[in-house]
Amino acid sequence: MTFHIITIFPEIFNSYFNESIIGRAKKEGKVALKVYNLRDFTEDKHKTVDDTPYGGGPGMVFKVEPITRCVEFIKRDEIANDESTRVILTSAKGDKFSQKTAQKMSTIEHLIIICGRYEGVDERIADNVADAEVSIGDYVLTGGELPAMIMVDAITRLIPGVLGNKESLEIESHDRCDLSDYPVYTKPNSFCGWDVPDVLLSGNHKKITTWREEKRKK
């Protein structure tokens, strides 16, 4: 799967995407991440990506042309119009991102994510360029870069072969009926009077499974 991220702050992604599980998935070729600087798709010498809102009001708005050009470039030159492509506009008023959304998106070949900034993005992008507007929660961030990273992270770990232990994915929070994962503990079995539940030390796998199921339901 390839993630294509459109942003005015491309450097933001370097550190996070080169570490840990995502960094390894990239090295092993299980995912690819391409970051595009929106300013490279402007046509004026100041590389202008924003302008004042029609009708007045505070803040600046991302212009429709550079984003449209960038998405067209990605579709035409980078992925040759692969049918399995989705264009996501990050937006505080979008559909809420969830584990189910991540699961659906993990089967897509190319995911293009547009990171907004300032007052937002000219609505014509939502209407004509993006397939969906996606929010990561009911709060307003300064830009779409953190939402993009969150989506890439949640989706990448669902791609087959990315997590070392397949079972890590089989029982997780939100994987079925919105149950949470069971609590986990590691050594030592007692610390400052805080003890690991006896059942986990019992070696009785049937009892452990029952205990974990009960905890998930709770």
User: For binding to ligand SAM (CB under 6 A), which residues are involved?
Assistant: 90-93, 115-117, 119-121, 135-137, 139-144, 147
- Identify the helix (H) or strand (E) that includes residue 21: helix 20-27
Decide whether 31 or 121 has the Cβ nearer to ligand SAM: 121
**Torsion, Cα of 139, 144, 161, 177 (10° steps):** 20
In the complex, least distance from residue 155 CB atom to ligand SAM, rounded to whole angstroms: 15
Ordered DSSP codes for 125-169: HHHHT-SEEEESSSS--SBSHHHHHHHHHHHHTTSTTSSS-THHH
Task: Tell me the residue nearest to ligand SAM as measured from the CB.
Answer: 116
Decide whether 80 or 140 has the Cβ nearer to ligand SAM: 140
Ordered DSSP codes for 43-76: -STT---EEPPTT--SS-EE-HHHHHHHHHHIII
In the complex, least distance from residue 118 CB atom to ligand SAM, rounded to whole angstroms: 6
Contact 15, 49 (CB under 8 A): no
In the complex, least distance from residue 11 CB atom to ligand SAM, rounded to whole angstroms: 17
In the complex, least distance from residue 8 CB atom to ligand SAM, rounded to whole angstroms: 11
In the complex, least distance from residue 55 CB atom to ligand SAM, rounded to whole angstroms: 14
Decide whether 90 or 101 has the Cβ nearer to ligand SAM: 90
Decide whether 86 or 216 has the Cβ nearer to ligand SAM: 86
Decide whether 1 or 126 has the Cβ nearer to ligand SAM: 126
